[in-house]
A = this chain, B = another copy of it.
Amino acid sequence: MIDWLIPMAQKIGFIGTGVMGASMAGHLMKAGHDLMIYNRSPEKARELIQSGAHWCPTPASIARQSDIVITMVGFPQDVETIYLGDQGLIASAMPGAILVDMTTSCPKLAIQLAETGKSRNIEVVDAPVSGGDIGAREARLSIMAGASESAFKRCLPIFEKLGRIIVHQGPPGSGQHTKMCNQIAIASGMIAVCEALIYARKSGLDPEKVLKSIESGAAGSWSLTNLAPRILNGNYSPGFFVKHFVKDMTIALESAHNMGLDLPGLELALCSYRRLMDTGSADCGTQSLYRLYENGGL
């Protein structure tokens, strides 16, 4: 090995090769990056390995040899486990490395990780995304970054491989806070769509015609245009899972309460979606909220 004699490309690690992560890691490989990958369920990494990614047995082993490590996992607890502790990314990473959590997670945790990283000269960036599996597949994500100026600059060439709208929102935590704004807007927006549709049906209207009248005006929204037609076709398969949305809204509401902020719309949405989970819809798409209205289960 004479790697040390020639200028090396940045070594990138990628942890979490689920639906979103696999697409994102794939884009980085296509862009020519040499990728080390890890996933809790190794079978979900198989395709990337076949395409040339290097499998590593633990997050720590990735951290020890990467300039930048990207994580895209499930829940804040997963983020905590991967980043903190003796075998965590922060303890294992090379000084000067950057760790980028793209999971939707707690703003408070993001700030804590960034603080913890400082003592070892490691920058931790929060950069959650919106755009879903399609956005990830088509490299059209919106990436909301919380980072120092310098860390953001170093991440930008990578972000540009993954997304189309890339905004440096502010210091660590700002990315997660921005994602919370996104989820808060979606939350009451879903109620808006479901209530308009159930009213349309109950009053004997043809909901397709109603959409024609209302979707391009002041009642219009991404959800009305994209999810209302699925509802009308009885298509409740997931673009975005109910269980993930409940996770996000739970973080948002807790974060709001920590700021002394009362968000009754978000509270109503979270409460409704939790009830929906109880009826066995955790793995359905968020548009299945409509069924709660249909069944009078509010």
Report which A residues bind B (CB closer than 8 A).
107, 130-132, 135, 142, 144, 165, 167, 169-170, 174, 177-178, 180-189, 191-193, 195-200, 202-206, 209-210, 212-214, 216-224, 226, 240, 252, 255-256, 259-266, 268, 272, 296, 298
Contact = CB atoms under 8 A, between A and B. Distances in A.
Contact of A265 (B142, B240, B261, B265): B265
A185 to B, nearest CB: 4
A264 B259 contact: no
A267 to B, nearest CB: 9
Contact of A216 (B142, B192, B220, B262): B142
What does DSSP make chain A's interface, helix, strand, loop or mixed? helix
Contacts of A263: 195, 198-199
Contact of A222 (B169, B220, B266): B220
A199 B252 contact: yes
Given A170-B209, A192-B192, 15 more contacts: A165-B213, A177-B199, A177-B203, A178-B200, A182-B217, A183-B219, A185-B196, A187-B192, A188-B265, A189-B189, A189-B192, A199-B255, A199-B261, A217-B222, A264-B272
Name the 10 nearest CB pairs between A and B, nearest first. A188-B192, A221-B221, A191-B265, A185-B219, A185-B196, A177-B203, A220-B222, A182-B214, A188-B191, A181-B196
Contact of A167 (B204, B212, B226): B212
A273 to B, nearest CB: 13
B202 A261 contact: yes
A205 B181 contact: yes
Contacts of A226: 218
